[in-house]
Amino acid sequence: MSEIKDVTGTAFVVAEFRARENAEPHPLYVDRIVPIFLDARTKQAADAIAAGFPAAEKNVRLRTRYFDDRLDEQFANGCRQVVILGAGLDTRAVRKQSPGVAYFEIDDPNTVSLKQTRFAEERIDAPITFIAGDYVASGVFPLLEANGFNCELPSFFIWEGNTMYLTEADAMKVLRDLKARLRQFSISFDYMDKAVVARTTGERGATTFVERFAAMGAPWHYGIDDLEAVAAATGLTVAGTATIGELLREFWPGRVLDSIIYEHYSVCTLEP
């Protein structure tokens, strides 16, 4: 990696934030794999995004726990395929395995190749079907089906840290394609509301945070105010949703909510 820039580079920033939970006395999750992707440059990039805005890091730690918990539920419910869209440096395929469950990860060629190289260097057996591609430009299913994905099996999609970088039309198409092609699936994703994306929350920290992503070449485009409407428009139902603020109060009772962004940022799970 020469430079931590643009949407692809955001994966390194998120990975830094995720890794920092390991140092907590009672961590929300343990990720011993993610440090293999980190170095002085990733630390510098993450520190620049989070400077004066600790919520940046807490958001990622809390959402990681949410997706880990949903994944455990899906394993228990008999899911056979896990697809990670825009996987970046996600380590779940190594950290969280279940007999008979196959992982598919889609991301751009540079990210996929860096990930494969680091796993090989560290002699980590990562049972992943890596798919180097753009799931917006190519479509999710052409990429998956060319790589052995079986539309008949119950599947779980993790779409973490992605929706804000897409346009509304592209995000809706992802959901509609899933609904059209699969019988049994769940998709969990996170989303900002429109005020964060439009930088109109009135909180300086939240606005600066969004501006920093734009300055690194990764502007945010899509926010959701009405998740039920998104579900209805894509033929899906809301199986669950929570603001990051709700997760914070649940997992870290007693900690202060040091930004309003926790109430403007949510996670959810949709199903047919």
Ligand X SMILES: C[S@@+](CC[C@H](N)C(=O)[O-])C[C@H]1O[C@@H](n2cnc3c(N)ncnc32)[C@H](O)[C@@H]1O
Which residues contribute to the site for ligand X (CB under 6 A)? Answer: 7-8, 10-11, 14, 86-90, 106-108, 111, 134-136, 160-162, 165
Between residues 44 and 237, which has the closer beta carbon with respect to ligand X? 44
CB of 163 to ligand X, least distance (A): 10
Reported as type and span, the H/E element at residue 100 is: none
Sheet strand arrangement including 102-107: 128-132, 102-107, 81-85, 155-159, 185-192, 265-271, 237-243
Question: Cβ closer to ligand X: 99 or 190?
Answer: 190
Quick one: tokens of 5? 């820039």
Of 9 and 245, nearer to ligand X (C-beta) is 9
Q: How far apart are CA 5 and CA 121, in angstroms?
A: 24
- Return d(Cα 39, Cα 23) in angstroms, integer: 16
CB 195 within 8 A of CB 222: no
Nearest distance in Å: CB 18, ligand X: 6
Nearest approach in angstroms of CB 5 to ligand X is 12
Smallest gap from residue 135 Cβ to ligand X (A): 4
Residue with smaller CB distance to ligand X, 31 or 203: 31
Alpha-carbon gap, residue 16 to 65, rounded angstroms: 15
Q: Are strands 185-192 and 155-159 parallel, antiparallel or unpaired?
A: parallel
* d(C-alpha 165, C-alpha 159), whole Å: 12
With tokens 């440096």, the residue in question is: 89
The one-letter code for the residue type at 152 is E
87 vs 206, which CB is nearer to ligand X? Answer: 87
